[in-house]
Amino acid sequence: MDLKTHYLGFDLAHPFIPGASPLCDDLDTVKRLEDAGAPALILRSLFEEQIVREQVSTFLHTETHGESFAEAMTYFPAPQSFVLGPDEYLDHLRQVKRSVSVPVIASLNGVNPGAWIDHGKLLEQAGADAIELNVYRLATDLDTDGAAVEEATLKMIRDLRAAVKLPLAVKLSPFYSAPAHFGAQCARAGASALVLFNRFYQPDVDPVALEVKRELHLSTSEELPLRLRWLAILSGRVFADLAVSGGVHTAVDGVKSIMCGASAVQVVSALLKHGPDYLRELTVSFERWLEEHEWNSVAEMRGNLGLERCPDPAVYERANYMLMLQSWKA
């Protein structure tokens, strides 16, 4: 059985990749994932906003107390090796690179141009094999229109494309007015792959305490259909690889994703739930399924249920159900 797939310029032994998550924070887990057959690894996002915030708040909350009182010029040691910035991430990236032989994809999450681009360069220097960009931001400003939001993101992709030589994947959110058009634009701007879709912390309301909390729940297979739709719509129509992220828990979820056009299947929640070794179970089940259903390779099934090849494209294209009677074309 030929499970091989080609994603972001890499020939991978199979499509199931541990997605960006805390899974790769720990070197032991990284090794276990490789042992479980991970064909590539994606590190947790280097979160640009968090870096800036930490720099500023550490600066304000440590510096402002010094040089104020005669008995204490400072309140903290000033270790030479203590540097606030992406160094922690870069060091980790180097360590992961040293410990595994599969491609390591670094992930970047940023909203502002500038430091973001610099961080991309640093990731390249630190040995990343590819970069996955997670560019979504919530457009809460009443005066910023969709076109401006999209253009800002495309600029970032173009800038980063110009700054680094590495393959770039762009992880999109489903909340664009015209996701298909925007996906195509991303590919034109330099994205080698599109990842559908990112998941966010969601607000939850505590009606008693009158508070809004942020929570991130593990995904379920129920989230997959949204992704299948847009994989299918983009499959074969954009000049970029496609990957699915969010909702893949079983081998069959992976099969569906590939049939809708995915070259790579990112798995996070299932691994967090069942442990890194579950990756091996997934691939074994996946292979078995292919055998049972008499497929010869992943390549031949990829995109067979995409918009252009599926028996009934209207299922993807229409938002509402129509009676067969109403589907009559005049």
Partner 1 sequence: MPARRMITVDGNEGVAAVAHRLSEVIAIYPITPSSSMGELSDAWSAYGKTNIWGRVPEVVEMQSEGGAAGAVHGALQAGALSTTFTASQGLLLMIPNMYKIAGELTPFVMHVAARTLATHALSIFGDHSDVMACRQTGFAMLCSGSVQEAQDMAAIAHCATLNARLPFLHFFDGFRTSHEVAKIEELSNEDLLAMVDEARILEHRARSLSPDRPEIRGTAQNPDVFFQAREAANLFHDACPGHVKDAMERFAKLTGRSYKLFDYAGHPEAERVIVLMGSGAEAVHELVDWMVARGEKVGVLKVRLFRPFATADFLHALPRTVKSLAILDRTKEPGATGEPLYQDIITALREAEENGDSPFAARPKVVGGRYGLSSKEFGPPAIKAVFDNLKADKPKNHFTVGIVDDVTHLSLAMDNDFDIEPDDVVRAVFYGLGADGTVGANKNSIKIIGEETPNFAQGYFVYDSKKSGASTISHLRFGPRPIRSTYLVRQAGFVACHQPEFVEKFDVLETAKPGATFLLNTPWDADKVWDTLPRELQEGLVERRMKLYVIDAVKVAGDAGLGGRINTVMQVCFFALSGVLPREQAIEEIKHAIEKTYSKRGAEIVKRNFAAVDAALAHMHEVKVGDRGLTNRRRPSIVSENAPEFVKRVEAVMLAGKGDLLPVSAFPIDGTWPVGTTQWEKRNIALEIPVWDPKICIQCNYCAFVCPHAAIRTKAYPNAAAASLADDFLRVPFKSNDIPDHAYTVQVAPEDCTGCGLCVAACPAKDKTNPRHKAIDMTPQRPIRELEAKRFETFLGLPEIDRTAIKRMDVKGSQLLQPLFEFSGACTGCGETPYVKLLSQLFGDRTVVANATGCSSIYGGNLPTTPWAANKDGRGTAWANSLFEDNAEFGLGLRLALDSRKRTAEQLLKRLSPEIGEELAKALLDADMSGEAGIAEQRLRVKALRDKLKGLKTPDARALESVVDDLVKKSVWIVGGDGWAYDIGFGGLDHVLASGRNVNILVLDTEVYSNTGGQASKATPMGASAKFAEAGKDLGKKDLGLLAMTYGNAYVARVAMGGKMQQTVQAFLEAEAFDGPSLIIAYSHCIAHGYDMVHGLDQQKLACETGVWPLFRFDPRRVAAGLPPLLVDSPPRKGKVADYMRNESRFRMVERMDPERFKRFAKASEKAAAQRFSVYEQLAGLKVALPPAEPEAAPVAAGKKE
Is 67 a binding residue for partner 1 by CB under 8 A? The answer is yes
For 157-192, letters b (16+ CB in 10 Å) and e give bebbbeebebbbbbbbbeebeebeebbbbbbebbbb
Measured from the CB atom, is 57 or 327 closer to partner 1?
57
Measured from the CB atom, is 63 or 151 closer to partner 1?
63
Is 148 a binding residue for partner 1 by CB under 8 A? The answer is no
Distance between alpha carbon 25 and the CA centroid of its chain, in Å? 16
Among 6, 31, 97, 115, interactor with partner 1 by CB under 8 A: 115
Measured from the CB atom, is 143 or 211 closer to partner 1?
211
The size of the interface with partner 1 (CB under 8 A), counted in residues, is 43
265-324: contacts with partner 1 (CB under 8 A): none
Is 60 a binding residue for partner 1 by CB under 8 A? The answer is yes
Among 9, 11, 35, 74, interactor with partner 1 by CB under 8 A: 74
Among 1, 83, 216, 314, interactor with partner 1 by CB under 8 A: 83
Is 330 a binding residue for partner 1 by CB under 8 A? The answer is no
Q: Would you give the binding string for partner 1 spanning residues 211-250, x where CB under 8 A is met?
A: x---------------------------------------
Stretch that binds partner 1, among 13-21, 55-63, 163-171, 175-183 (CB under 8 A): 55-63
Residue type, position 224, single letter: L
Among 2, 9, 65, 218, interactor with partner 1 by CB under 8 A: 65
176-215: contacts with partner 1 (CB under 8 A): 210-211
Stretch that binds partner 1, among 46-54, 97-105, 161-169, 250-258 (CB under 8 A): 46-54
117-146: contacts with partner 1 (CB under 8 A): 118
Is 77 a binding residue for partner 1 by CB under 8 A? The answer is yes
Checking 52-57 for CB contacts under 8 A at 24+ apart, the result is 52/115, 54/84, 55/84, 55/85
| C-alpha count within 13 angstroms, C-beta hemisphere, residue 207 | 0
Rounded Cα distance between 311 and 77, Å, is: 67
CB of 121 to partner 1, least distance (A): 12
Rounded Cα distance between 103 and 225, Å, is: 29
Is 76 a binding residue for partner 1 by CB under 8 A? The answer is yes
Is 91 a binding residue for partner 1 by CB under 8 A? The answer is yes
Stretch that binds partner 1, among 72-80, 96-104, 219-227, 320-328 (CB under 8 A): 72-80
Which residues are at the interface with partner 1 (CB under 8 A)?
26, 51-52, 54-85, 87-88, 91-92, 115, 118, 210-211
